[in-house]
Amino acid sequence: MKKICIVGGCGHVGLPLGLVLADRGFEVTLLDINKTAVDLINSGIVPFQEEGAGELLKKEINKNLFVTDNSDVVKVQDVVIFITGTPVDEHHNPKIHEVLNVVEKYLPLMHKEQLIILRSTIYPGTTEIIEQKLQNFFGVQPKLAFCPERILQGKGIEEIQNLPQIVSAVNDEARKEAAEIFSKIAPKVIHLEPVEAELSKLMLNTWRYLEFAIANQFYMMVEDKGLDFYKIFDAMKEDYPRAKTFCKAGLAAGPCLFKDTMQLSAFYRNQFFLGQSAMLVNEGLPNFLVSQLEKKMGSLKNKKVALLGMTFKANNDDIRESLSFKIKKELEFKLAEVLPSDPYLKNTYKLDDVLADCDAVILGVPHNEYLNLQINKPYVDCWNVWK
């Protein structure tokens, strides 16, 4: 079986992929600069919430799965997969150099027979730029593929094996080899050209971000008029199939949706008005929720506000780009005392304690632990779990 190295292998996307590939019999090495994560995974501990990862790790570690921060492992691989972060900068433009720098760092250890797979969510045209870099270094066209990851964070192990895999490459050899690997783990392979595949992933995330934005815009519009958004929402959806996917309001946060919408906006010379508007709406919801509480309470000065759920999504421990922190900041601007609580995070207060101690509550993220609470203080719940 092929030897596969995953650069960024201890991350939220790298680890589930590595585990599934190892489980299919590939010899997988996770290479990562995060020494803490390397040590944890080597000792059998999954560093973040990921369903089914613990069992697979126990089964595969030091059998088909190896974890290291030593870059030399790159030299002996058949396949090198790159899955590191692809953030945007303070002007919401993609930091393409972060992607290129990672590839350049390992370039002296790579050779032209290797299949190189890019798997991060990248700005359109990045595959072509990397192809050129590799070609300059190897002196021949590289075997380079771009195969985007489309998993839902926390459900990666299951989704990698159930979702079709989009495969694109710069030539037939790379396309065939990449498709062979992914057909061992995914039910279906769909072929696109690299720039099409790059756009497909960005458009999917953006579309999701816009779905949340329209729900959030309606929520704010209706609640601002003193009306009950969810009374209308439930009536609109009841036995009406075309509204099945109409989603609830909620904080649209996390490391992907916002930045990928901004990547797409940058790609269209910042003329992507719908994407920019979605960003304004989604990023404005935290301020709106605080103003809703202010309306109920009068001044928030010196009030103790319990903020339940600090992660970016429910039933997960990831705080990257969580909008609960924006709510916290806004409350602090109002001179409120914030009591953050989250069962997935150390260094936050216990639920019972904050509920007993607070004057009011804002629901940041609807973890399962909160669904059946009886709140007998003023609260704001844009998710409608405390109906």
Ligand X SMILES: NC(=O)c1ccc[n+]([C@@H]2O[C@H](COP(=O)([O-])OP(=O)(O)OC[C@H]3O[C@@H](n4cnc5c(N)ncnc54)[C@H](O)[C@@H]3O)[C@@H](O)[C@H]2O)c1
Nearest distance, CB of residue 317 and ligand X, angstroms = 12
The beta-strand segments (E) located in the chain are 3-7, 27-31, 65-68, 79-82, 115-118, 143-146, 165-169, 189-191, 304-308, 337-341, 360-363, 379-380
Facing residues of 166 across strands?
A: 190
User: Residue 344 has what DSSP assignment?
Assistant: T
Q: How far is the CB of 41 from ligand X (least distance, A)?
A: 10
Q: Does 168 bind ligand X (CB under 6 A)?
A: no
Based on CB atoms, which residue is closest to ligand X, 126 or 341? 126
Instruction: Assess 317 for contact with ligand X (CB under 6 A).
Output: no
Contact 94, 266 (CB under 8 A): yes
Query: Which residue in 29, 68, 77, 84 binds ligand X (CB under 6 A)?
Result: 84
Name which of 264, 278, 145, 283 is nearest 201 in CA terms. 264
Residue window 101-130: x/- pattern of binding to ligand X, with contact defined by CB under 6 A:
-x--x--------------xx---------
**Is-contact 306 361, C-beta < 8 A?**
yes
Which region among 131-139, 147-155, 231-239, 264-272 touches ligand X (by CB under 6 A)? 147-155
Q: Which stretch binds ligand X (CB under 6 A): 25-33, 182-190, 216-224, 322-330?
A: 25-33
Task: Round to whole Å and give the CA distance between 353 and 184.
Answer: 49
Q: What is the DSSP letter of 98?
A: H
Residue 262 φ/ψ, nearest 5 degrees: -70, -35
Sole binder of ligand X in the list 4, 21, 37, 167 (CB under 6 A)? 37
Q: Are 3 and 146 in contact (CB under 8 A)?
A: no
CB closer to ligand X out of 217 and 311: 311
Interface map 242-261 toward ligand X (x if CB under 6 A): -------------xx-----
Closest CB 152 distance from ligand X, rounded Å: 7
Where on the chain is the footprint of ligand X (CB under 6 A)?
A: 7-8, 10-14, 31-34, 37, 83-86, 102, 105, 120-121, 149, 151, 153, 255-256
